[in-house]
Amino acid sequence: MAEGSAGTALVVTVSNRASAGVYSDDSGPIVVEGLRSLGFAVDGPLLVPDGDPVEEALRDAVAAGYDVVVTNGGTGLSPLDLTPERTRRVLDYEVPGVPEAIRAAGVAKGVATAVLSRGLAGVAGRSFVVNLPGSPGAARDGVAVLAGFLAHAVGQLHGEDHARRGGGR
């Protein structure tokens, strides 16, 4: 990683309508700016329709060596929301506490529908992959949750030792 950098990140906005030009991507730029504020060198947002293009974008990002890949969108209950299924195909293993924390943060802000997000998080190769919901507010809130641990997760994927805190284990 570059000196003073938290690492590299790619933001992938998943939206059938935005990728078709029906409307603009309002949440991808929020995720990009949020990750930049955490010290990441960020590419994107890459705009793709849901389904197989998501899996292809994730596989390409992992092959390119991004430290972090964040998708936004495609995590709901609609039959067209396939991002979690395509993400699962790419992950080597899941980190279930991350999407649990993202959903809990939404509920804590009074957004009861946050529990309906089926987003996943996990590791593919040496990349940390996270699915965020597609609304601008949920994307902003999701990045706020990631702020608490993302640099540490990337460090662990690069073999850094656990920092000792308060005489821990």
pLDDT value at position 96?
98
3-state secondary structure the chain: CCCCCCEEEEEEEECHHHHCCCCCCCCHHHHHHHHHHCCEEEEEEEEECCCHHHHHHHHHHHHHCCCEEEEECCCCCCCCCCHHHHHHHHCCEECCHHHHHHHHHHHHCCCHHHHHCCCCEEEECCEEEEEECCCHHHHHHHHHHHCCCHHHHHHHHCCCCCCCCCCCC
Q: What is the mean pLDDT of residues 52-66?
A: 98
CA dihedral 153, 143, 18, 111 (to 10 degrees): 130
pLDDT surpassing 90 at residue 5: no
Mean pLDDT, the chain, whole residue set: 93
Round to whole Å and give the CA distance between 132 and 120. Answer: 8
Q: Say if residues 10 and 42 touch (Cβ distance below 8 Å).
A: yes
pLDDT tens digits, one per residue of 73-123: 999 999 999 999 999 999 999 999 999 999 999 999 999 999 999 999 999
pLDDT value at position 2?
47
**Structure pTM?**
0.92
